[in-house]
Amino acid sequence: MIVRKPDGNSISSADARPDNLSAAIGASSGRTPFHRGLVGAGAVLLIAAFVTDLAYYGSALWQWANYSAWLITAGLVVMLVAGIFLLVDFATGRARRLDTGSSILVAAAVLLSLVNAFVHSRDAWTSVVPQGIGLSGAVALLLLIAGARGWSLTKSPAFEHFP
């Protein structure tokens, strides 16, 4: 279907990017918070630590325990960088208000992961079973709930007028 616009130009329904659809609905140009992707990446590492804990519990191969410790450490480092970028988002105006629910979930997961890093520093079987795998499972559950809420720890500026 071809539609003629008032300015004389015509648009075809086969056009890849018609003028009226060039931007996504609700998208702001360049105002996406920096921290969102880093929170998601850190969460993936911490959830993967739970998977490697399960692999260690099932096989007793010590390398799985090492993978868990490395994943937890890497996840905590990425979450620290995400926290720094969250501060940058507030300083640059990309974020104005914290989303309390998601922030509490992610903060609790990070604190449990810090404890879990110390538990995983123990030797052999006791580094994972039973405390390590329990902590990893709790962290994975908290992060999956936070992921269902969205990885942003802030309220979107587009929805600021909502409570």
DSSP letters for 85-136: HHHHHHHHTS--SB-HHHHHHHHHHHHHHHHHHHHTTS-GGGGTTTHHHHHH
In a domain, 108, yes or no: yes
5 is a domain residue: no
* Other Cβ atoms closer than 10 A to 38: 20
Interior angle at CA 131, CA 119 and CA 52, nearest 5? 80
DSSP state of 2: E
> 162 pLDDT exceeds 80?
no
Query: What is the domain range of residue 91?
Result: 35-153
How many structural domains are present in the chain?
Answer: 1
How do residues 117-161 score in pLDDT, each as one tens digit? 999 998 878 888 899 999 999 999 999 999 998 877 887 655 454
Q: What mean pLDDT do residues 94-99 have?
A: 88
- Asked which of 27-36, 42-51, 73-82, 85-94 is least confident by mean pLDDT, the reply is 27-36
* Residues pairing with 4 in the sheet: 10
Residue 26 DSSP SS3: coil
| Count of other CB atoms within 10 angstroms of residue 147 | 17
Mean pLDDT (whole number) for 75-98: 94
Q: Read off the amino acid at residue 48.
A: A
In a domain, 100, yes or no: yes
**pLDDT category, 5, cuts 50, 70, 90?**
low
Any domain includes 18: no
